[in-house]
Structure formats: C-alpha cells, structure tokens
Structure 1
C-alpha cells in the first residue's frame, strides 16, 4: 500500500505556477470598475495639475548664447528703414493695379545693399478636399484655371551670402506685404526687416546666408510663403516667364526693367536659392495700439500640432523681455480667465501647496491662484490649436518641410508717429538681430530642446513626459474593462445554459458550447467594423457635397446629415447595424458590443496620439467616460437605485456632449457666445479642417462619430 501511494504521488505532475504579471492582470480585470474610477479621476486631476507642474523654460543649446553680444543695429540703420517706410507709404507707389511699383521699390533697396535679388511669381492655389490627396505632399493644391494680370502674386526675395559660410545653411526672414491694401503696420515691418538686412550686409561674423522674403499676401500670407517654399524645396526648373506672361505688360516690365537697366547688378530672372534652412522668422506689426505696453505675440502652432523647437521660442522670449523690454504674449482662451470655478480650483491648489510647504519646506509645490488661471487658459489654448491642426500663421508652411519657424507680431503701445516709429524700428530690429545672431552660432539644426510640449506662459512649458501621464491614465482602463466585459458575457451565458440543462447534457455539449461562445464576439466585431466603415463613408461625403454649385454652408450641412443617415440605414438593411444589435435576443450581447467598441476606441486613441497628441487628449476626455459608462437605459430603469439613476443621467449628458456637432457648438459658445451659433458654422469648421489636411478631421469621422453611434446603440439596447 505504501509503495502504491508513493508511486501515485510520484506520478502526479506539479501544477504550473501562475506568473505574477498574469495574476496582476487577472486582479485588475476582476476589479475593472474600481480601476476605471481611480484611473479616470487621476487622469482628469493630472490635467488640471499641468499648470502647477509646468517648468521654467531654459536654453538647452549652449551655442545659442542669446544676448551675449551687444547689439550692432544703430540709428543709421533705423533711418534707412524709415526711408523705405516713407517710400512704400507714398501714394505714388500704389498707383498700379498690380502693385508693381512697390515691388520695384523693395527690389531697388535690396540691390542698393548689394544683395542678390529675384522675383518669384506664383498663382493662388485653392485648398480643396480630395480623399486621394489627404496625406500627400504640401504641393498638392489646385491652381485656378482662369488667370488675369491681377491674379499673379509676386514675392520679392533678397539673399545675403555669408562671408564666413559655405552656402550650405540659411536663415529666412519673412515679412508679409500686400501692395494693394497695405497698412502702415505692414510697411513698418518691412522697415524693421530692411534695417536688419542693411546691418547684415556689413557684418563679418555671419556664417549662414540670409534670405529676406517679402511675401505678397494679397491671396493670403500662408499661400505666398507656401508657394515660395514649394519652388525652393521642389524646383520645377522653369523660368519666371510663363505662357500667360505676355498678357500682362506690367509683369513683363518688372522683370525686363531690372534685367536690362541695371548693368552688373545682382538681379536675376531665375529663382535664387541659398543653403538648407536652419530657422525662419515671420515678422508682422499690428496697426492697432496696445493699451499697456509694447508687446510681441508669438505664434508657434503648425499643421497637425507640429511645434518648433522650444529653444527658438526661448531665445525670442529672453531677448524680448531682458534686452528690449517688450512684453511677450502667447494665445489664451480668454473665456477661462473670468471662470469662477477655475479660480476656486486654483485657490484650492494654492492652499494645498502652503500645507505641503509647512510640512516640508523644501517642497516647492503650487503657484498663486491668478497665475494658475492664466496658465490654464494658455494651456487650453495651446492644446486646442495643436488639436485643431490648422497653422496659426505663415510659419506653418515651414514646418511642412521640418524647418523650425515662428511668427512674431509686434503691437506698439502708442500711435506710430515719428518718435515711436523710430523706437519700434530700433527695438524690433535689435530683437531680430539677436535672434539671427543666436541661430547663426549653431553648427547644426535645432535638436537639443523639446519638440513636443504645451505652453502655460511664454516662460513656462509642460514637456511630453509630463502631459502624457494624464492621457495614459485616461486610456489605461479601456483594455481591462473590455476584457472584463468579454469574460462576464461568456460566463453569464454559460451559467444560463447550465441552469436549464442536466449534468449529462452539459458534459455532452461542453466542447460545442465553448466553441460557440469563443466565436460569438465575431458578430459584435462585425458590427463595430461596419459602423467604422460607415464613418469612413461619412468622411468622404463632403468631397461630393462640395461639388454642388452655389450651396450654402447650412444647406451643405443638412445634405451631409441626410446622406449620413441614409447610408447608415442602407448598411443596416444590407449588412448589420446598431439597430440589429438592439433587437438581439441574447441578454449580454450589448456587453460584447461594448467590449469591442472599447477596444477599437483604445486603438484609435493610441494611433492618434502618434499623429497629434492634443487631439488624442481631447478625444480621450470626451470618449473614455462615455464608453465606460455606456449601459442599456432599460437596465438602469429596472434597477431603480440612486446609482443607476446617476449613471443614466451621466449617459444622457455625455451622449449629447460627445456628439461632434454638439461638442463644436458648446466650444464655440464658450469662446464667442451662444448667440452667434449657426448650423452652417460646423460645416465651415469641418471644411477648414479638410482644407488643411488636419488629422483631426479623420479622427472625428472615423473614430469619434462611430464610437458615439455604437454607444447610443448600447444605451437603447432592448435587453
């Protein structure tokens, strides 16, 4: 007996040990509700803590050395800039219908300094939505077919060759100028640029070529800069004379005059180039006066949330504040500045910081409530404009070619009379000189500092390593809840079958039932796939609607809605739809649909975070609570508890807010007031997104809208 017992014990195989990570996964899945509450609360709290966690900006690249040298721009250079301003504001320079005289004046001034001058003639291009061109290169615009002499844009380009350089690198200075409708601010920006340009022709320390681009902004500032960049980066090897040029005598005279009347000059009919662009500055001067002090506004957002290297902003901020005495501004959401609840939240954080400091004096946590409100307004603006994916200025054209660029807009305090004009010319010119001198010191492109960041003020930022924590906390519960719903749906169906069957029947059909349950999720996956396919169809519909002539934005939006509903009903009748799920007889079918929906949302948000993190952040705030709370309203009504009633109210509120048009009108109402809201505004907003190839447009159509439809189908499931 003892030998038999020992033999049986030896034959027993040891049970495999479960790995700790598997145990942890099982624990999290079994407690997915509590994990979701903790993670979502922590994610929202982390977002509100970002202004508190913001760090002061600093110069990462030591070679920049801003302000290390005394400015060389003198009153003589300011006088030269003043002469150009006077000549451009002379009524005789605007006598031509095409503004040719102004271009001649600017070119002549450049030639007098010994710069290489050329003209770049371009046609305006139309930004139109086309599904096959959505991810194409930046030169995919459509050129208008009907040309006239006034439809040509003319950019004036001056190049200074660096005495200490090899011609492989260049710095670009852009000044938008509309010769037909120019204000005094545009002329003054040209005066500042010319004063700096005249200085740079005389210095010996210049190691990078300088390109001064006077962009013809009669068709838009961005269009002129983008057209010149297309020719610079992707040359077509064609001369300035085009087949239509003989129809425009003024344009012909512009080129022929400079080519023949100035013998030995550096004017060229061909397109001139310099080296690889190290950085670019767009300079503008506002005509309106600032109330308090001279300010300079920085615009940095480019297409799809691209930002320039933070060091470029840091250099401008340091020189403007500590060398020229200018106040630096970045965009804010002004509606948040007067928010009482935000001020109360800032006071709470300030009180907690005082308590923490009393417990541990070295812990520097917290900021004043007023600074918190301003930081939150700036952070929200930075997050919004990055998520929008539309450039905030002509500098965005440079980011399409991976060139760091920003737009600087100077707002003088007083009227631009002669005294204050000279002051703005001097201080603005020295600021541009200092920035160019710092970039000139670099041996390579900007690379040391951050490219992914959010600004809370001109001198504070939140790096990607900090703000991604909030996003990670928001989406962390999604895979766990999806797995928990899948397990619960299968286990509940197994229990229901076990209650109505004999033990022998269960034994006979065990393998068959397991096989059926393991593949039952495919019906839900098919449903989710079809709804996302419908989202792709909805995203393509505006291309066809835009072909309808003389169609107002309101009419286009209504047509879009009707066609979207019709396509959804068609897919419902042919394949499947949320309505088919609502009529399902299986009690836990909605749980499988919710599980697959949450999985698709997790994948969509993860992919979007790679393309445009700001869009993924805002999308997570809208979609994650709706996905986690979605449950049939019928079950909540049956339960009749306070918890189920609160969940039902939250589902109804989130169902309205997460609907893309409703979210747009809510945001527009917060910014501009609800009195100006119009149905056609949403169409115009969406039209701007697809015109700029914003990835947010695809996210709304192929991720957010299908997710909303699936969650609404779950809410109205007749279980």
Structure 2
C-alpha cells in the first residue's frame, strides 16, 4: 500500500507544470539560450521604436499656463551688467576679487540676502573605505594649499513673499572670474534679469537661491563645495577658513567693510529651505548656422541617476512650444553614419510593409532618420548612465536627491550684435521664468513621473518597464545553462559523459560526486577574491609620487599577475582534477556552471546599483561565459561548430579584456593616433574619483569572468 502511494505521488510530481517546464529548459538549454540571447539583442534594437512621447505627469506644474512677465527693461539691466563685467576684464589687477564684489553689489541692489562662500579646490582621491559613502566625492584639500587657491562663490537669496521658507529653487550660473568671457557674462546677466523680476512678483511661494559659482577650478567643484556646506551646518567658526591662514582673501571683506554698498554682504553662511529643484544654465559661444537658437539638456548624474522626467518635460515643452528653441540631447554621432544601423532600419521598414499588407492597422516602424537618430541618442544615454560620471555640475545636486539639469544655450547669430543679444536674453529669460513658475506651483517634490528611463530624443523616452525586458532576455540563459551543466543534461558540452558511470553505483562514488562542485567553487571564489584585491591596488600605487599613467598601469598589471600567482600557490592549482575518471571529464563543466552562476548574481546586483552598466555588461559577459569551452575537446564538436566556437572564444577573449575593449573603442572613435597604455589608467582614475559603481563592476564581476573563461579554455580535464 505504501509503495502504491509512493508511485502515485511521484507520478503527480512528474506532471507538475513548473517541473516539466524546468526539465524542458534544462534539456534544451543550448536552443533556449540562443533564442533568449537573440531575442534580447532584438529587444535592444527595437527600443527606439518602442519609445513613447514624453508627457507632464504632475498636473500642478501647468507649464505655459501663464504669460511671461520678463520685460525688455530687465534685459537692458542685464546688458548693463555684462558691460560692467567685461569692463573689469580690461583692467589689469584684482579682477578675480572685483568680479564677485560686482555681482554681490548688484544682488544686494535687488534686495537679496548676499554672502560670499569661500572654498578650497579639493583633489579627488581613491579610498576604498569611502567608495559609496560619498565623502570621497568632495576629495581632500592639498597639504600645501593656501588662500591664493581659494574660490569665491557669490550667493543671493530671495525670500518668497507667499512662502514659509521651507522650500527653495536654486539657479546656478558658472563663470570664471579670472578670465571671464562674453558667454559667461551673459549667463550671469541672464540670472540677474530673472532675479530682478522675481523680486517684484507676488506669486512666488518658494525661496530663490542664485549661486554665481566660481568655476576657475571646475564647475562641479564649486557647486559641490557649496552644497556640502549647505547640507552640513557648522557651529561657531569650525566651517570657516582660518582668518590667519587667508590674508589674501580677507581683503575681500576689508573692501566690504569700507564701502557702504558692500555692508549688505554678509560674512555668515545663509540658507534657504529644502531644495525642490535646481537649474544650471550657461550660455556658450557655439555659433551654428540654424534657423533657431539651440538648447542642449544634460541630465545624467553619478551612477546613472537621472532627475525626474517631469523636469525635463517642462523644459522641453516651454522651450519648443513657447520660445521656439531647438532642443537637443547628447548622441553618439559616429552611429549616425553606421551602415549596420541603417540596415536594421531597412529591415524594420520591410517588416512594417509586410505587416501593413496583412492588416493596415498594424504599424510599428518609424522613419529611418528618426530610428537612426533615436538609436544614437539611446546609445549615448545608456553610455553616460553606465559610465557613472555626471555630465555637468547638476550631478552635485543629484547626490543630495535634488532634481537638477544643466541647460547649455547657444545662439544662432553672433552675440556681439546688441539687438540680437537683447532678443536672445529675452527669449531664454522667459524660458527660465516659465520653468521656475512651474516648479513654484508644486506642493511636494517631483514624484509623479519616471526616475528610471533612457532618452531617445528630448521628447521621447524608454521607461524601465520596457528596457528591463531586454536585460532579462540577455541574462536568463545563465541560470538555465548553469543548471544544465551541473546536471550534465545539456547541449553545450556534447563531449561530456552524460551516461551513467558504473563506478558511481557504489555509495562512496556517489558521495564524492555530490561534492564535486567544491573545487570549482573554491577556484571561482579565489578568482573573485583576486578581483577584489586588484581593485584595491590603485590605492597603493596612487600613493607613490612621480608615477606617470603608463608606469602606473604597468605596475598595476605586474602586481595583479603576481597576486594571482601567489593566490594559486596558497590555494592550489585551478586545474586540479579529482581521481575519478568521470570527475576529471566533468570538472571543467562544473567550474563553468559555478562561474555562470556567479556572473548571474553579479549582473543581478549590478542592475540594482546601475542598470545601464548591467545592461551593457550583459552584452559582453553572457556570450563570453556561455561560449567558454576547453580547446582540448573542441575537435569533438564537428568542424563547423568547432571553428565557430574557437573564433567566438578568441573574439571574446580579446574584447572581453577591459583594456582591450577600451583600446578598440578609442581606435573606432578617434583613430590610432594618441592611443597608449596609460589611457586605461586615466580612464579608471576618473571612475574611482567619482565613485562610479562601474569601477567595482569591472573588477568584481567582469574581470573574474574573463579570467575564469580563460581557465576553462585551457582546462586539461
């Protein structure tokens, strides 16, 4: 009776759908992997087609619902400030100190609370313990720094007549007080005209903070220093630069004390409310022969963070439909002339024609030009998010969870023409006014729209619910193939002995076989530990003085190889095989299964930190791991399959190595001129200086997978 119950129970287990699906996927892992990976590539190529038009999700924003109030009189006052700033440039001497005073005096004339914020230019450095804490982003002050290398931000605050002081909108205009140009003076004057208007309006409900950022040491540095002090209150004199250390800069306050107009400039750090949003705008002297003035939006922040899409939407809507500007986002221009991308677009058009012939309502293709431009913009959006570096000083705000964008504005005509300059300032000023008015209408922070998205144009985006499908299709073969390799029931290692081994009939053999994965797991763990050590070596190398990028790179490679050999000496050879014949023949498959499982876990974790990095990494890691096959057994697979497998292994073995991948990218985009070994060190320096998670991905996921793939290629068992 008991035996009958067991047979019935086992029969029910066999008929469970989830079990049958799992058995089917494992038994056909090769076919399933090819189909899923191909479908993932196709899904990526279809993203420009699947992009949706942007729309304003938050009804309270109401962009363009009110007529602009900025007048030509405000623009005339702004033009006067431009002449004053350029006049200081013509005078030799203390232009670096007089320009902040001039801006502060004009701020004070408008009734704003004004103060100077002094900061030291801080150098970025690599410290592993501070990688994700954010403290290393601010860097450290050089030991030999003096007040001669101090920057001076000028800050003006307008208190909202209808507000309670709990929220604020920040306007940032970067400029170099030492070598101020016409475009920078126009940026400052543009903000001045807007502030002049906002001091007179009655609808303002949020405080306005105008930060005239001293960009002589970099636009990001000055903004990040001010934000750090804004969000880290200092008590007493702890947050101030020592007066005894800064006699040169103290002349600034002596001038303020002597002049009656400068007595309105505070010496204490003042604050407004919580930042609702920030706009960084700058005029650039990039004259283009076009019919409209151009506005370029930069939105990417550190580790792929993006501002709420509604902020980009209102800027794009007001710029296009109210001020008639040509709005752009960054794109990879090399793809615009790509032959294969045009071929993909032609294929989509052919499929669209066939679908329309069957049913006229079936329409999914877009014009070829739109597809190519959308793909180039999508690739740029993915690349900048995956790189993890901010594309402007707006990234400093995103580190404090403040939605911000950088607006780069260029005129279609020369700004030396006075009437053209007036018209340009009036149009751009009304755009900024409209954006401020929309943000002013918000009763809460941006939250209605998307935070995870890719842009294919200023007015089209791909949401997280769409582009995640491609990533899932790319990664889903990894756990399936890992299970198939471990069970021995797959099409990847047709040379392996999937038949029952007579030696395994005894209990001892079965016990040994059940623990056959331990050696493979140890090898995978040692290689990943080596990857972690390699990621920490730059901290030691960067402490050595007088090292060129090429020398540092060579030292890094040498230390990495020595570290790997030492770990092998301690833990044993990775090619060690157990004594059983079946274990020897299957050891490489078990190692590949554990490697694939570790790669799947690494890509999954990386998709939480920076999805774009995981998306691009999957395109390289997944085929590199799946194609790895011992060269010893390649001849058993058939001539055609053996040749194709060897070619794929050689290709991914070369391109999968991070320095080689960077070399190929540089040669493809810039040519062979000026490419050297030190470029990879410089590139990684930028990653760790900005705490980019891509740096960790390269050495904790990608590099170990590459090394383990080489282990499998040359595995003797």
Scaled to the shorter chain, the TM-score interval is: over 0.9
Matched residue SS, 1:513: helix
Q: Is the contact made by 1:333 and 1:671 (CA closer than 8 Å) also made in structure 2?
A: no
Distance, in Å, in 1 between the alignment partners of 2:476 and 2:307 is 30
Matched residue SS, 1:175: strand
Q: Is the contact made by 2:26 and 2:489 (CA closer than 8 Å) also made in structure 1?
A: no
Distance, in Å, in 2 between the alignment partners of 1:718 and 1:9 is 46
Structure 1 position 89 matched with structure 2 position 86: yes
Q: Quote the residue 2:479 is aligned against.
A: 479
Distance 1:156 1:577, change over 3 A: farther
Q: Quote the residue 2:283 is aligned against.
A: 285
* Cα displacement (A) at 1:583: 12
Distance, in Å, in 2 between the alignment partners of 1:587 and 1:489 is 14
Q: Is the contact made by 2:138 and 2:224 (CA closer than 8 Å) also made in structure 1?
A: no
Distance, in Å, in 2 between the alignment partners of 1:119 and 1:96 is 20
Distance 1:533 1:489, change over 3 A: farther
Q: Quote the residue 1:562 is aligned against.
A: 558
How do residues 415-430 of structure 1 correspond to structure 2 at under 5 angstroms?
415-417=414-416, 418-430=418-430
Which stretch shows the higher mean deviation, 564-573 or 245-254? 245-254
How do residues 569-588 of structure 1 correspond to structure 2 at under 5 angstroms?
569-580=565-576, 586-588=584-586
Deviations 1:114-158 (A, max 9, x none): 000011111111110011111113465211122333211111000
| Partner residue of 1:537 out of 521, 529, 533 | 533
Distance 1:150 1:360, change over 3 A: farther
Matched residue SS, 1:67: coil
Which stretch shows the higher mean deviation, 486-495 or 442-451? 486-495
How do residues 493-642 of structure 1 correspond to structure 2 at under 5 angstroms?
495=499, 497-498=501-502, 509=506, 511-580=507-576, 586-642=584-640
Distance, in Å, in 1 between the alignment partners of 2:106 and 2:579 is 77
- What is the alpha-carbon root mean square deviation over aligned residues? 2.2
Q: Is the contact made by 2:255 and 2:262 (CA closer than 8 Å) also made in structure 1?
A: no
Distance 1:27 1:174, change over 3 A: same
Structure 1 position 361 matched with structure 2 position 357: no
Which stretch shows the higher mean deviation, 360-369 or 607-616? 360-369
Q: Quote the residue 1:137 is aligned against.
A: 134
* Cα displacement (A) at 1:564: 0.7
Q: Is the contact made by 1:36 and 1:477 (CA closer than 8 Å) also made in structure 2?
A: yes
* Cα displacement (A) at 1:525: 0.3
Distance 1:580 1:419, change over 3 A: farther
Distance, in Å, in 1 between the alignment partners of 2:91 and 2:598 is 59
Aligned residues: 705
Deviations 1:668-719 (A, max 9, x none): 2232223332211111001100000000000001110000000011111123
Which stretch shows the higher mean deviation, 344-353 or 255-264? 255-264
Distance, in Å, in 2 between the alignment partners of 1:617 and 1:579 is 32
Distance, in Å, in 2 between the alignment partners of 1:440 and 1:535 is 49
Deviations 1:152-192 (A, max 9, x none): 11110000000110000000000001100221111110111
Q: Quote the residue 2:121 is aligned against.
A: 124
Q: TM-score, length-normalised on structure 1?
A: 0.94
For structure 2, the 5+ residue unaligned runs are none
Matched residue SS, 1:188: helix
Q: Quote the residue 1:45 is aligned against.
A: 42
Q: TM-score, length-normalised on structure 2?
A: 0.95
* Cα displacement (A) at 1:402: 0.2
* Cα displacement (A) at 1:515: 1.6
Distance, in Å, in 2 between the alignment partners of 1:97 and 1:523 is 70
Matched residue SS, 1:101: helix
Q: Quote the residue 2:447 is aligned against.
A: 447
Q: Is the contact made by 1:294 and 1:410 (CA closer than 8 Å) also made in structure 2?
A: yes
Distance 1:562 1:264, change over 3 A: closer
Distance, in Å, in 1 between the alignment partners of 2:555 and 2:392 is 32
Distance, in Å, in 1 between the alignment partners of 2:241 and 2:220 is 25
* Cα displacement (A) at 1:241: 8.9
Structure 1 position 372 matched with structure 2 position 371: yes
Q: Is the contact made by 1:489 and 1:591 (CA closer than 8 Å) also made in structure 2?
A: no
For structure 1, the 5+ residue unaligned runs are 1-6
* Cα displacement (A) at 1:88: 0.6
* Cα displacement (A) at 1:246: 3.8
